[in-house]
Chain A
Amino acid sequence: MEATIEVTGLRKRFGQAQALDGMTFTVAPGQVTGFVGPNGAGKSTTMRVILGLDAPDEGEATVNGKPYRQLKHPLSHLGALLDAAALQPSRSARNHLLWLAHSQGLTARRVDEVLALTGLTDVRQRRAGGYSLGMRQRLGIAAALLGDPPALMMDEPFNGMDPEGIAWMRTFLRNLAAEGRAVLVSSHLMSELQDTADHLVVAGRGKVIADASVAALVAAASGDRVRLRTTATAEAMKVLANAGAEVAATAHDVLAIAGLSSERVVATLTAHHVPFTEVSAHRATLEEAYMELTREAVEFHSTGHEGARQDRAGQTAGRAGAAS
């Protein structure tokens, strides 16, 4: 699979803040790549660097092998939605798309096509300033699609959308990927990407802490743990611990067991006549996997100072290797 967006070793400092600290990943065609991480992880800065808007102190970003700023009619290589609110409020939606089309040598016909694609045809003559946030997101996607690009990049496209809009957006993004486009979607909420992304790039403190398929991430977060439902929690904990397992109670009648396979758990409990109602392989949600990965990355929010997170970042980088 050829890479469409490639980010290599980006570093960027804003005054005291190290916004990017070696950000490296690639976005492949034909799938939705989720770009997740807490606020301040460097997602938006990375996207601005990819678009040639911000200059990195180190590293480079390429689109189809070229720095964005060297692309001719760049919107036909990469369509981007950075900020849906970035509109001249008094300009109509159609005219907003029209100037953008003209900048790429495209005609008004293409404008009407993307308006139809995003369901904005009926409101195209209205002032963009009067659009709801959801409508603005659609308008931003229409703008990203103008050049019919093989790669799309969206910063928090679900922000401010109602459930109906979110569902529409998910389907839309999946369809774009199904056409063979590379789709990079950032979010600070993993749940938004749960049923959308095929692949995840998890960022924290300016670098990638995990870069893996959704399936691999969930498996890694689940580990080898076994979930046991029993009324005799104390007894079960005792015998399983004696058998060499690590046991933790996750609810009043649920135990999470690590270090023993489910077969060994069943055999041990049966041998000691401990009653149980359910034994299953523990399966982490994506959200749990994400929380696990970013737990440390988030902590700087409470410490508030940049320096404190440098050594922490080293640890999370180690995890990233394990996860992928």
Chain B
Amino acid sequence: MTAVAPYRSPAVPGRDGFAQTLRAEWTKFRTVRGWVIGTLVAALVMAGVGLLAAGGGRSACQAVGVGANGQPESGSGSSCQPSFILGPDGEPVADSFYFVRQPLTGDGSVTVRVTSMTGLLPPDHPDNAAGPFDSVHGVEPWAKAGLIVKENLSQGSAYAAILVAADHGVRLQWNYTGDTAGLPGPVGPANPRWLRLTRSGDVITGYDSADGTHWTRVGAVTLTGLSSTAQVGLFTASPDHDQMTANFGGGVSGGGGPTRDTAVFDHLATADGWTAGPWTGQYVGRPEIPGVVGFHQAGGQYTLTGQGNIAPVPAGHGGPADASATVTDYLLGTFVGLIALVVVAGLFVTAEYRRGLIRLTFAATPSRGRVLAAKSVVVAVAGFVAGLVGAAAAVLAGEAITRARGYYAFPISGTAEARVIVGTAVLTAVASVLALAIGAIAARSAATVAVVIVVIVIPYFLAATAALPLGAGDWLLRITPAAGFALQQPYPAYDQVTMLYSPFSGYFPLAPLAGLGVLAAWTAAALALAAYRLRRRDA
């Protein structure tokens, strides 16, 4: 045997770090055609289902206008758009109520005492013991009576109001979505509520008091650009009763109808610069109700009877909202696309186990945690891009089709739309990482895909299709990784609007970031277990 000098490579060693591992994993990902195609398919499926949702299943344009309180009104016109009254921030709102008003200029204040609220509820109200055809006495929980300062008499104009809600105490509400609580408890002759609004420039401040002597400031709101002359006065409104119930075994059914409330005011006074002339009563946003006197003044006592609501309109909440295409509809394909993405993400690690390639991977990069991290980044990026492209295509194309076919589209702001699209991308990205982590734990393709679908796709599907009772569905969307679908909630839920906020109309039990937190926690736990298993297990 001849002694040979040990070999020394002339090559300069390359860099060794996470960037190299990441690049290697990215090269792995992009060089398997099936995985790239799977990712593209995910985006296409998301977009395709969005197009289907936009293309069918919703009412085509009919000769239906939109009446006050979100009720369709036959024969009020043939124009299909716009379908909604929009508030100052562009969100759909209901804005109809009985108004006893006068224009007042400059700064000033107005004070009133509310002594009672009574009303009528529709015949099918559960409190109705009288029979199926008679209205019953009672007040809708969010029936309102109080003081309002409003830009003008157009529906959707800016306002601030201090009011008593039948079951929700004193509230300061403004511009449809704003809502701050004041004194709690119901109003009645024994416990009247004193209310005051003051205007200073475009700042409106609301106060309440139980005795007219001791006042509490509920809050102050700025109505940017409020005209110097605004409509000021008393109002009553009573939203339609919405009797939606979740059925045992899934599904919901609903009923309901208009309600009415009558509020009695006294001690109406203006001050601090406002001098009141005579008060005029009129409905805003709806015709007079036949047989009902809207406004009656006797001495210092004002009795107002009204219907309607001053509030935001949630998606799927009656009238045109019921028949409108929503972003939720467009994004219905997300869970199908997600199946493709989790299969690809799972295979990205399980295929290496199946082929024995994982040994070469770990021989090249002995730090298994680093490999796991690099793989996570790769599938996260792939999932994010597929989700972003798929969701953006679904929403934009869905809207275009809805518009072109003259269907109702539930209004949404560009910001909210962007948030939902990016949220969908985050959802698909994190879910892909979860699939990867489960793949690293199970090291088997079929088991991985099965587990991921069971923990994320099926809970969502059961809840979103109302296949499960609503409560069970809600819990699935709170505790399983499917909670991440909350990122797709396009429209806010409003406490001040009574409705069944359910996943199938796009409302989730958790806030978007809380839902993401649940999904992320599961993913972090799976990654931690995967890292532990990878380190401990022989490759």
Contacts and interface: CB of A to CB of B under 8 A. Distances in A.
A195 to B, nearest CB: 14
Contact of A92 (B4, B15, B31, B356): B31
Interface string A134-162: 00000000010001111000000000000
B14 A105 contact: yes
B4 A51 contact: no
A99 B362 contact: no
Given A29-B4, A86-B359, A95 B27 contact: yes
Interface in B367-383: 367
Nearest to A107: B14
A163 B108 CA distance: 104
A31 interface: yes
A52 B6 contact: no
B359 A99 contact: no
B366 A74 contact: yes
A81 to B, nearest CB: 9
Residue in A2, A68, A71, A91 whose Cβ sees the most chain B Cβ within 10 Å: A91
Contacts of B4: 29-31, 177-180
- Looking at B7, B352, B362, the one whose CB has the most chain A CB atoms below 10 A away is B7
Of A48, A51, A80, A102, chain B has the most CB atoms within 10 Å of the CB of A102
B363 A105 contact: no
The secondary-structure label for the interface of chain B is loop
Contact of A76 (B1, B9, B21, B24): B9
Interface in A62-105: 68-76, 80, 82-83, 85-92, 95-96, 98-100, 102-105
Given A2-B6, A76-B9, A103 B359 contact: no
Contacts of B361: 103
A198 B356 CA distance: 31
Contacts of A262: none
Contacts of B21: 103
Interface in B1-21: 1-11, 13-16, 20-21
Chain B, interface size category, equals 35 or more
Interface residues on A, range: 35 or more
Contacts of A75: 363-364
B403 to A, nearest CB: 42
Interface string A45-66: 0001001111100000000000
A117 B366 CA distance: 26
B7 A179 contact: yes
Nearest to B355: A86
Contacts of A4: 6
A88 B33 CA distance: 11
A74 B20 CA distance: 13
Contacts of A99: 24-25, 27-28, 31
B34 A90 contact: yes
B6 A29 contact: yes
A315 B206 CA distance: 99
B307 to A, nearest CB: 66
B1 to A, nearest CB: 5
B351 interface: yes
Interface in A254-277: none
B538 interface: yes
A1 interface: yes
Contact of A102 (B3, B13, B23, B355): B23
A100 B31 contact: no
B537 to A, nearest CB: 9
B12 to A, nearest CB: 10
B130 interface: no
Interface in A5-32: 29-31
A92 to B, nearest CB: 7
A241 interface: no
A176 B355 CA distance: 28
B363 A53 contact: yes
Contacts of A150: 6-9
B513 interface: no
A181 B7 contact: yes
Contacts of A291: none
A39 interface: no
B32 interface: yes
B365 interface: yes
B539 A74 contact: no
Contacts of A48: 359, 538-539
A68 B32 CA distance: 29
Contact of A148 (B9, B359, B360, B364): B9
Nearest to A49: B538
A30 B7 CA distance: 8
A54 B1 contact: no
A260 B431 CA distance: 80
A105 B13 contact: yes
Given A71-B366, A143-B360, A180 B6 contact: yes
A245 to B, nearest CB: 34
A210 to B, nearest CB: 17
A30 B5 contact: yes
A88 B355 contact: yes
A213 interface: yes
Contacts of B525: none
A96 B3 CA distance: 36
B489 to A, nearest CB: 39
A74 B363 contact: yes
A284 interface: no
Contact of B356 (A72, A85, A104, A105): A85
B357 interface: yes
B366 A52 contact: yes
A173 to B, nearest CB: 13
B5 A180 contact: yes
7 contacts: A48-B538, A54-B539, A76-B14, A87-B357, A91-B28, A99-B25, A177-B4
Given A53-B362, A76-B9, 20 more contacts: A30-B2, A48-B539, A52-B362, A72-B13, A75-B363, A76-B11, A76-B13, A82-B356, A88-B32, A91-B31, A100-B24, A102-B24, A103-B23, A103-B24, A105-B15, A148-B9, A149-B9, A150-B6, A180-B8, A181-B6
* 7 interchain residue pairs of minimum CB distance: A105-B14, A30-B4, A103-B24, A86-B356, A95-B31, A180-B7, A99-B27
Interface of A: 1-2, 4, 29-31, 48, 51-55, 68-76, 80, 82-83, 85-92, 95-96, 98-100, 102-106, 110, 143, 147-150, 177-182, 198-199, 213
